[in-house]
Amino acid sequence: MTELEVVDTEVVSKDEKTPRIGRRSPWRRLLRDPQAVITGGIILAFVVLGLLADVIPSYGPNEASLQAYNADVGTEGYPLGADASGRDILSRLLHSINTSMVAGLIGSSVALVIGVTFGLIGGYLGPRVRGTTEWIFALIQTFPGLLLLIILTPITKGDFRATMLIFGVLLAPGIYRIVRNQVLGVKNELYVDAARVSGLTNRRIMSRHILLSVRGPVIIAAAFMFGTAIALQSGLAFLGVGSAGVPSFGAMISEGFTNLYSEPTQFLWPSLALGLLTAALVLLGNSLRDAFQGARPKAAKIAPPKVLREDGTVPSAAAAPAESPGLLVVEDLAIAYPTPSGELRTVVDGVSLRLDAGETLGVVGESGSGKTQTAFAVLGVLPPEAVVTRGSIRLEGRELLGLSEGELRTLRGRSIAYVPQEPMSNLNPTFTIGAQLVEGLRSSGSMSKQEARERVLALLGRVGIPDPERTFRSYPHQISGGMAQRVLIAGAVASRPKVLIADEPTTALDVTVQAEILDLLRDLQAELGMAVLLVTHNFGVVADICGRIAVMKQGEVVESGPTTELFSDPQHPYTRMLLGAILDEETVRTDGPVAAPVPLGTDAR
Partner 1 sequence: MIAYVVRRLLTGLVLAVLVTFITFLLLSPSFDSVVQNRLGQVVNPDAAAALKSDLGLDRPLLVQYLDWLGGVFRGDFGTSYFTSQEVQVAIMDRLAVTLSLVLVSLFLSAVVSVLLGVVAAYRGGVIDRIAQSVSLLGHLIPSLLVAIVFVYVFAVQLQWLPATGYTPLSEDPVKWLKSITIPVIALTIGGAANLMAQVRGAMIDELNKDYVRTLRTRGISTRSIVLKHVLRNAAGPALTVLSLEFLTMLGGALIIENVFALPGFGAFAFAASLQADIPVIMGVTAFAVMLVVVVNLITDLLNGFLNPKARVL
Q: How far is the CB of 229 from partner 1 (least distance, A)?
A: 12
The residue from 147, 190, 295, 318 that contacts partner 1 (CB under 8 A) is 147
Near partner 1 in 489-508, by CB under 8 A: 491-492, 494-495
Please say which residue, 152 or 195, places its beta carbon nearer to partner 1. 152
Q: How far is the CB of 444 from partner 1 (least distance, A)?
A: 4
Please say which residue, 17 or 298, places its beta carbon nearer to partner 1. 298
Q: Is 274 in the site for partner 1 (CB under 8 A)?
A: yes
Query: Which residues lie closer than 8 Å to 153 by C-beta, 6 or more apart?
Result: 241
The stretch near partner 1 (CB under 8 A) out of 71-79, 279-287, 337-345, 571-579 is 279-287
- Contact pattern from residue 296 through residue 335 relative to partner 1, giving x for each residue in contact according to CB under 8 A and a dash for the rest: -xxxxxx---------------------------------
Q: Is 118 in the site for partner 1 (CB under 8 A)?
A: no
- Contact pattern from residue 564 through residue 603 relative to partner 1, giving x for each residue in contact according to CB under 8 A and a dash for the rest: -----------------------------------xxx--
Q: How far is the CB of 142 from partner 1 (least distance, A)?
A: 5
- Inter-residue contact 493 to 459 (CB < 8 Å): yes
Gyration radius of the chain's alpha carbons:
33
Q: How far is the CB of 240 from partner 1 (least distance, A)?
A: 7
Q: How far is the CB of 278 from partner 1 (least distance, A)?
A: 6
Q: How far apart are CA 78 and CA 60, in angstroms?
A: 11
* DSSP-based three-state secondary structure for 579: helix
The CA-based angle 428-494-536, given to 5 degrees, is 75
Please say which residue, 77 or 384, places its beta carbon nearer to partner 1. 384
The stretch near partner 1 (CB under 8 A) out of 50-58, 123-131, 430-438, 588-596 is 430-438
Q: How far is the CB of 386 from partner 1 (least distance, A)?
A: 12
Near partner 1 in 226-265, by CB under 8 A: 231-232, 234-236, 238-241, 250, 253, 257, 260-261, 264
Please say which residue, 124 or 249, places its beta carbon nearer to partner 1. 249
> Which helix (H) or strand (E) element contains residue 534?
strand 531-536
Q: Is 275 in the site for partner 1 (CB under 8 A)?
A: yes
How many other C-beta atoms are found inside a 10 Å radius of the C-beta of residue 295? 8
- Inter-residue contact 552 to 558 (CB < 8 Å): yes
The stretch near partner 1 (CB under 8 A) out of 64-72, 120-128, 292-300, 547-555 is 292-300
- Inter-residue contact 28 to 61 (CB < 8 Å): no
Q: How far apart are CA 213 and CA 200, in angstroms?
A: 18
Q: Is 425 in the site for partner 1 (CB under 8 A)?
A: yes
Query: Which residues lie closer than 8 Å to 240 by C-beta, 6 or more apart?
Result: 251, 254
Q: How far is the CB of 199 from partner 1 (least distance, A)?
A: 40
Q: Is 152 in the site for partner 1 (CB under 8 A)?
A: yes
Nearest residue to 527 via CA among 472, 468, 463 = 463
The 10 Å CB-count burial string (b at 16+, else e) for 67-82 is ebeebeeeeeebebbb
Q: How far apart are CA 508 and CA 510, in angstroms?
A: 7
Near partner 1 in 437-466, by CB under 8 A: 439-440, 443-444
Q: How many residues does the chain have?
A: 605
Q: How far is the CB of 111 from partner 1 (least distance, A)?
A: 16
The stretch near partner 1 (CB under 8 A) out of 10-18, 146-154, 355-363, 464-472 is 146-154
Nearest residue to 213 via CA among 245, 246, 243, 179 = 179
Q: How far is the CB of 488 from partner 1 (least distance, A)?
A: 7
The CA-based angle 225-226-228, given to 5 degrees, is 60
Residue 181's identity, in one-letter code, is N
Q: How far apart are CA 292 and CA 30, in angstroms?
A: 9
How many other C-beta atoms are found inside a 10 Å radius of the C-beta of residue 323? 4
